[in-house]
Amino acid sequence: MKHLLEFITKHYPWFIFIVYVIMSLMMLVNNNPYQQSVYLTSANSVSATVYEGISSVTNYVHLKDINEDLQERNALLEMEVVKLRDEINEYKLLLPDTAIQPRLNQYKFIVSHVISNSISQPNNYITINRGELDGVKPEMGVVDQNGIVGMVEVTGPHSARIISLLNPNMVLSCKLKNSEYHGNLVWDGVSPEYAMLEQLPKQVKFAQGDTIITTGYSAVFPEGVIVGTVASKASSAKNSFISLKVKLTTNFSQLSTVRVISNNMRDELKELEEKSLQQQEGKKK
Amino acid sequence: MNKSIIQFAILFVVLTLLQVVCNKVILFDVATPIIFIYLLFRFPVNMHKALLFSLAFAMGLIIDIFGNTSGMHAMACTLTAALRLPVINLYITREDEMNSPLPSIDSMGFTCYFKYVSTMALIYCTILFFIQAFTLNDLLLTVERIGASSVLSILLLLGIDSLVSTRREKKL
């Protein structure tokens, strides 16, 4: 016993060392609950302030390209508005009595700035300068003018951390435009410009350059948001599924202004899901 | 003693801020400079091990919080801190060869100090990028990253060293 005590007092720094290694291993291996806590991520107020300062300087660098993107997107939307207006007028002539259902209010956008962003890590995250007090909640979708950016993971009062689409933990349900076949979009960790659309049924027809859009099956993203275009077919002839290499439309190295999508129906949908789960469990009992 | 603690604290804040910027740098798709470990190299040799490990872990953790890397730097820092004394002993065989407990060009001589810094940077980069590669298993890319990042880090570390030490000489 005396020897043991002596051994411990003599070598206690090494015990501390082992404790630290185990702590960091735990942080590495399980993403929660340590990683989920706001204090240990970039969503905490100190690192958010630092990043805000840095980004206020570096934001100017990509301003020209972003402006061009915005102009292009604006032109596209304007054309769409004109087209839709014409269509609505035509329908109104045909069916003068029908009232149009107010469905558009389901989604609301919260505009925010990216203050920190990484594309070189195996797991990438983005920090934005809007948080709980601005109405940002976990599991909200995030888009920019070009396409999908990611999903809110942790929120602080004035900042939030987003799982980037360039993160293998982020799985997005997507489909080919003009087709109902859907698959899962996952980043394979190689290039920030490409991701893989997996588990598509073999019979799906596609051509290079076809547009990939979201399915809207979850409450995170509305249906039809552009994700990317088909670059090539990835070889996987093993089973009845195929994978596509998708060129992402979002330029992750130049993110600056993004929009967080707030879905008014989200709580309702969640409640419904929980209710049905409870009912199922009740039946089992 | 107090003065050197304050110096270390200021250096730590500056290096952390620089590292936050450096985390975004990816030269030639592979090289990311890691400079905040400079502080770890400069701690006195006779420092208590428990304190050394604690400081190393805290440093890594703070960089992790900024970079959203969850434990990668904390682990690499702690492991490198443990390997520090063996590395110094590798290059300095006799105790009296170092005329001050602070490892520096003055106390160790340029060749010894250069070897020490290079070895430590290489060890750090190796640990860090292998932890990162956990999920990716692309060995060639990992080796490229380790090589390029350690070369870049060593150059920057020596640059920082020259800056810090000239300022000290002027003070004296």
- C-alpha to C-alpha distance for A247 and B85, rounded to whole angstroms: 49
Q: pTM, whole model, 2 decimals?
A: 0.62
Q: Scan for tokens 């003055």, then name that residue.
A: B106
Mean pLDDT of A189-200: 82
A161: nearest Cα among A43, A38, A260: A43
Query: What is the predicted ipTM?
Result: 0.71
Question: Quick check: A12 and B50 CB within 8 A?
Answer: yes
CATH 3.40.30.10 is the classification of domain A42-95+107-263: no
Contact yes or no for A131/A158 (Cβ under 8 A): yes
pLDDT digits (tens, 9 = 90+) for B88-98: 877 776 666 66
Domains detected in chain B: 2-171 (1.10.1760)
pLDDT digits (tens, 9 = 90+) for A21-38: 888 877 776 654 444 555
Which among A16, A23, A125 has the least Cβ separation from residue B50? A16
pLDDT above 70 (res A66): yes
pLDDT digits (tens, 9 = 90+) for A74-98: 878 888 888 888 888 787 777 766 6
Determine the pLDDT at residue A7. 79
Determine the pLDDT at residue B136. 54
| Domain layout of chain A by residue ranges | 2-30, 42-95+107-263
Interface test with B, best of A15, A21, A24, A36 (most B CBs within 10 A): A24
Question: Quick check: B131 and A50 CB within 8 A?
Answer: no
Number of CB pairs < 8 Å for A and B? Answer: 95
B165: nearest Cα among B34, B71, B38: B38
Determine the pLDDT at residue B171. 44
Residue A80: half-sphere exposure toward Cβ, Cα within 13 Å: 6
